[in-house]
Structure 1
Amino acid sequence: MICFLRSVALACLICCLPAFTQASPQPPAKTAKKIVVAPPAQSKSSDRPKIPPVMVILPAPALQQTLSSILPLPIEHNASEQFRGEITLDSISSLTVDGGRIRIIGQLSGRNMTMNASVGNQNIQVKLGSLVLPVVCDVDLRFDPARQMLLLTPHFQRSTRSGSDSDEALLALLNSLSKQYEVPLHNFMPLTGEIGSNTVRLRMEPLDIRAADGAVTLRLKPVAGKQP
């Protein structure tokens, strides 16, 4: 399951790339003469200008397109004593963002599915085979700035009212995955650029991440460092 949620977070980061690339440092124009100047006096850290945060808005259609490009996507789960099998997200028909939640409507499939059941005093294994289930997945999104963690909690439900017993079995397995998952963002999108003979590394430190009004909005603080 964490693979699926990391892919959701990765889709947000991939959509950020064009904006970050345009803001990457550019090499200065060459001058005809070399001018040597005395090194400037060291200034106090409090005198340095503060870099304003960068605001990046990722609309829902862009997230849907990015996620769709990496399908089919396996959904990892811990094989329990009751259910076993492979689950895959095959397609996404709709993706909306509002109220701190990303809603994904798509189709899941299960392969080599088995279910253990108790009949009287005996345990039997029921082979469910291959299953296809249209589902709605609501992913609650919250950002913890103190720990630099993106907190994602998925909730699954069937998109249609009718369904077979096999569909109910797959849905029960998905509901067992409805818990909070943590995606660390400590090293967020490092970029590098050349200024003269120096390599400048630009890291974006997340300040806030919200899901509302049809988009995921990120407030990021650029943090630059020089490499030898």
Structure 2
Amino acid sequence: MRTLAFAIAAALLLAPSAGAFYVAGTFNGWNPAGNLMTDLGGGIWALDLTLGANERHEYKITTGDWSAAWPQSGNAWFVTGPDGAIRLTYDTNTYADGWRNETRRLGVGTAPTTWTAVGDWQGWNNGNPATAMSPAGGGIYFFQTTLAPGWYQYKAVITGSWDAIGADARSVNADTIWFETTPVNNQVTFWVDALTGTVKVDVVPEPGSAVALASALAGFAGVILRTRRV
């Protein structure tokens, strides 16, 4: 009886706490309990791996079995660095910062550096140099253009592939973001954060438009008035 009680106590101590998360992927035979993530606190979990240099893998976050897995729509992906190292993070917090997706963000410690903005507005061409994204620093890339009034779709892809970041996070052929342009708001900036696995679209008046000029003049007048009052 004492032996049984000790065995049960040991099992409870070794078992992961409720809400633990794992990573299953091509690197561990898709074992849903293959790699336990570390709880970093604040709703963020992490897993550090060392694999082959510049290797591409697909994966999902699980709860130790296949009863629940993320992303739901497809497999997430990552590419290791030159030393084979990669950190995967799973952020369970919910954000209202304008970036999609808003929760369950799949981050990586290193990411490819060549990105292309794709959508129906450019023919879904994942290798189009005309819509290549430029680095903004910190793993963030952007592309800016002007579009005629209408509804459009967007996601960011690694140039020449369909490894993407879109409305449903970092996944193969990720879902698209829908956005609208109008005769007034037609200057579009596409963004991707390759490290946090998020995207967003900003639609504003074209810099040379009358609306943008009026807005700038109003702001300038406000500065003058405030300066005079001081």
Q: Same fold (TM over 0.5)?
A: no
More RCO (CA 8 Å, sep 6+):
1
**Which TM-score tier does this pair reach, normalised by the shorter chain?**
under 0.3
Quick check: which has more Rg, 1 or 2?
A: 1
